[in-house]
A and B are shown apart, each in its own frame.
Chain A
């Protein structure tokens, strides 16, 4: 069957009334939580994971995809109206969007962000549908050593290629590895790092770590800043509709943003924000109204928002086809798959095509729902921005602990939540990136498994890792991605890289 048939079949799955309801609940919850200041998509997905515990896999993954896309839409509303981006990939949107809102053009800014996200999401999801089968075919020839090399590349790009310090990125990554060792060794069944504590035998739950690091760590960090004046929410004055000129100035940035964002998301490099910065720079160079940049140029909202959503869809390419999460959000999505015993990767396309294609098709549907949900109802979401901080953070912690208790009602689990929360807080204070810990925890065991398989096949000869051409090229790229930024930083040219810092996306 061709991709088109599969996609059509997926649409039939996604159009079932129950699945439509799951998608609708997902996008609504995702938007609502994504709009809340300080909550990015990674945390949105982690917080809402428990809601899906008792659903069937198909329905819950569809709801999940809706939450993911909804969180991306919601984040842009926050950054335009509040100037506190809930996620690093919305920083650029805040740059121009908040200026537009202050100038009384918040409506068109929200509209171009929503329509741009829609256009990008639509094109990128179709791109995902057509690229995925090709990568699946390629992945079938991958052996353990190629997978290992691919993961090494992902480790390097997630931890040290971007951000302001190689040292701190690598330290975060290795903290994740250290946590990943805890539990029963998958190949020999021996217990590692559990010190006779039965609660540690299953290892550290990804969701516990993610919720602790993102929700509790962030709450502590914000609390520690002390009393601050209330954030100023810009009211949406005037029409939310775009004028003819707005359309004329927006459609090209939407398409350019999509073209920039999708490949960056699809590569095992991670980070939606890189695409948004590139898109912003491109629009700034190509615009006919350079004087407006910095004072609310609509191109500066349209392009980066499209790039943001396109790369969000792009990250699903390595996640679904290779089982390789390249962002914290994708890592948590992977945990969502694993709670049903599903391992994303080439095999899932063969064994469970209905599920995979239903998921991809439901992304298209979620995208339509979000457009409807966001444009006319934007006033409703804006109200969420005015929740006073005490209630907001009290609510966030209530839900954060609810998820952990729901998954495993044990005092020990809550203790881990607190310990990792404090760790996340201290890491923020000292400027360590958070995402590498989560990615290290979830990818570390997979990488170890592949490495040990490769070495078992070669009877312990490590040179086998470099003798496959694919693996050798991937490892060479990984080495470059480690060395080049380090050299740039040492020469004092690190500012650009630290602007591209991947803290949470």
Chain B
């Protein structure tokens, strides 16, 4: 996934790799903390529910140190420039769908996601894409909730159709 990138991002790139090392260390600490509150069940072996998490946490800590060393040596592959705009569109669509799913139902929520993803890839005419997405998702809802009996949350639109 690495390719030719602008060399000037190099210094900043290492900071990001240090960030990964920090994340791994924090994850390791979280697992250590969680494992420490598990009570050891008396059994013949000293191996309980906390053993494996402790081992994994220790390995993650080791990997964090290794990542930090690699980051310092500049061993990480160079990265391509990332456009934030389209990513924000897609993430926004997913968040919107998550928030609307229970109240507005599957079709409207997923239709919004559809339109916003299309927008991320250049189709910005939301007044066209949103109705299109909602219609498409309504068709999917009819197929999957009707024929295949998946439990997809229903909203006002779906209730209208069910009657």
Name A residues whose Cβ lies closer than 8 Å to a Cβ of B: 50-51, 53-54, 164, 167, 170-171, 174-175, 177-178, 181, 185, 187-188, 190, 192-193, 195, 216, 219-221, 223-227, 389-391, 393-395, 397-398, 401-402, 405-406, 409, 411, 414-415, 417-418, 421-422, 425, 428-431, 448, 451-452, 455-456, 458-460, 503
Given A167-B63, A221-B1, 8 additional A-B pairs, CB 8 A? A223-B120, A397-B94, A414-B98, A418-B91, A418-B94, A418-B98, A456-B45, A503-B1
A455 to B52, CA, bound (A): 12
Closest 7 CB pairs of A and B: A460-B45, A223-B86, A406-B150, A390-B121, A390-B118, A226-B83, A390-B123
Residue B25, interface by CB 8 Å? no
Enumerate chain B residues within 8 angstroms of A175, measured Cβ to Cβ: 27
**Which of B76, B94, B110, B114 is in CB contact (< 8 Å) with A216?**
B94
A406 to B10, CA, bound (A): 43
A242 to B94, CA, bound (A): 47
Secondary structure at the A interface, as helix, strand, loop or mixed, is helix
**Which of B30, B59, B114, B117 is in CB contact (< 8 Å) with A219?**
B117
A394 touches B133 (CB 8 A): yes
Enumerate chain A residues within 8 angstroms of B66, measured Cβ to Cβ: 167
B83 touches A225 (CB 8 A): yes
Nearest CB of chain B from residue A474's CB, rounded to whole Å = 19
A220 touches B115 (CB 8 A): no
**17 chain-A/chain-B pairs, Cβ below 8 angstroms:** A53-B150, A170-B59, A171-B63, A181-B52, A390-B120, A391-B118, A394-B115, A394-B117, A397-B114, A401-B113, A409-B152, A418-B94, A421-B94, A430-B77, A431-B1, A458-B45, A503-B1
Enumerate chain A residues within 8 angstroms of B144, measured Cβ to Cβ: 50, 402, 406
Name B residues whose Cβ lies closer than 8 Å to a Cβ of A: 1-2, 16-17, 20, 24, 27, 30-31, 34-35, 38-39, 41, 43-49, 51-53, 56, 59-60, 63, 66-67, 70, 75-77, 79-84, 86-87, 89-91, 93-95, 97-99, 101-102, 106, 110, 113-115, 117-123, 129, 133, 136-137, 140, 144, 148-153
Enumerate chain B residues within 8 angstroms of A452, measured Cβ to Cβ: 45, 47, 51-52
A220 touches B90 (CB 8 A): yes
A422 touches B31 (CB 8 A): no
Enumerate chain B residues within 8 angstroms of A227, measured Cβ to Cβ: 122
A50 touches B117 (CB 8 A): no
Enumerate chain B residues within 8 angstroms of A421, measured Cβ to Cβ: 94
A415 touches B98 (CB 8 A): yes
Enumerate chain B residues within 8 angstroms of A178, measured Cβ to Cβ: 27, 31, 56, 60
Nearest CB of chain A from residue B48's CB, rounded to whole Å = 7
B24 touches A171 (CB 8 A): yes
Decide: A409 near B80, CB < 8 A? Known: A398-B114, A414-B101: no
Enumerate chain B residues within 8 angstroms of A221, measured Cβ to Cβ: 1
B49 touches A188 (CB 8 A): yes
Enumerate chain B residues within 8 angstroms of A223, measured Cβ to Cβ: 83, 86-87, 89-90, 120-121
Enumerate chain A residues within 8 angstroms of B60, measured Cβ to Cβ: 174, 178
Q: Which residue of A lies closest to B28 (CB)?
A: A178
Q: Which residue of B lies closest to A55 (CB)?
A: B148
**Which of B63, B77, B97, B123 is in CB contact (< 8 Å) with A164?**
B77
A390 to B101, CA, bound (A): 22
A225 touches B80 (CB 8 A): yes
**Which of B56, B75, B101 is in CB contact (< 8 Å) with A174?**
B56
Nearest CB of chain B from residue A152's CB, rounded to whole Å = 13
